[in-house]
């Protein structure tokens, strides 16, 4: 059940990123649980809670169309469940979907598990550090995502095990993404494109198709990061 104060924000979010009634019901369950747990755990910035649907849910929903028909997804540093839980709510309608949420904070991981349970999501929560589990679960993953986890030079090493095996990187970023790409290009050859956010004028979505480390002895001859439309 959603409160009257949430309804207009919910309507705006679902107008921006339409979903099926069944998916909307799953999202309602997730948001209701988040509001309950937020009293004891800081799952989202308190100032954004009144706009949780537009600031967090719709922001996450916009990633799904960029991934095509992908079913196997890994979300890094899932925190309050964005985008991981939201993606799982959508993919619940796809047979054999599997979303893995990695979150090292045990309290947040507990929230993610409970949300996945009550919303009946095809999600697995791993309460561990990303670098500890990524190499052993990377095979077969089609998409790796992250939101507000780390600047790109620190994010790429975490996502590398997945991208190296063919996963598409979908990373929600701010307006400084160009600077992050420039900094990352000192150590990485990156094939990427940038899409403007549908929910935040200053937001950007970085789509990474390839990311290869530049050997240390050739950094002085590094190429500029690749961009594709």
| Residue 2 pLDDT | 41
Provide the token pair at 79. Answer: 């925190």
- DSSP state for residue 208 in the 8-state scheme: E
Residues facing residue 72 across a β-bridge: 98
At a CB cut-off of 8 Å and minimum separation 6, what does 68 contact? Answer: none
- What CA dihedral angle connects 120, 122, 124 and 125, to 10 degrees? -50
Classified by CATH at the fold level, domain 4-227 comes out as Rossmann fold (3.40.50)
Query: Which residue ranges make up each domain of the chain?
Result: 4-227
| Residue 181 pLDDT | 96
- DSSP state for residue 77 in the 8-state scheme: S
Q: Are 30 and 115 in contact (CB under 8 A)?
A: yes
| Residue 5 pLDDT | 41
Dihedral sign (CA 12, 48, 129, 149): positive
Q: What predicted TM-score, i.e. pTM, was given to this entire model?
A: 0.91
Q: Which residues does the chain have with pLDDT short of 50?
A: 1-5, 219, 229
């Amino acid at each position: 059940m959603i409160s009257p104060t949430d309804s207009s924000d919910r309507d705006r979010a679902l107008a921006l990123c339409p979903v099926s009634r069944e998916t909307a019901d799953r999202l309602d369950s997730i948001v209701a649980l988040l509001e309950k747990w937020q009293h004891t755990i800081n799952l989202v910035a308190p100032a954004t809670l009144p706009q949780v649907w537009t600031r967090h849910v719709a922001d996450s929903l916009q990633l799904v169309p960029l991934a095509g028909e992908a079913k196997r997804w890994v979300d890094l540093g899932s925190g309050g469940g964005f985008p991981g839980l939201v993606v799982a709510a959508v993919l619940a309608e796809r047979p054999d979907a599997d979303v893995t949420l990695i979150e090292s904070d045990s309290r947040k991981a507990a929230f993610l598990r409970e949300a996945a349970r009550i919303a009946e999501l095809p999600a697995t929560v791993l309460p561990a550090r990303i670098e500890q589990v990524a190499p052993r679960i990377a095979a077969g993953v089609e998409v790796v995502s992250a939101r507000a986890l780390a600047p790109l030079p620190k994010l790429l090493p975490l996502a590398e095990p997945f991208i190296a095996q063919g996963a598409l990187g979908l990373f929600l970023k701010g307006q400084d993404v160009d600077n992050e790409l420039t900094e990352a290009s000192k150590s990485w050859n990156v094939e990427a494109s940038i899409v403007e956010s549908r929910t935040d004028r200053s937001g950007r979505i970085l789509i990474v198709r390839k990311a290869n480390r530049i050997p240390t002895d050739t950094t002085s001859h590094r190429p500029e990061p690749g961009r594709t439309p």
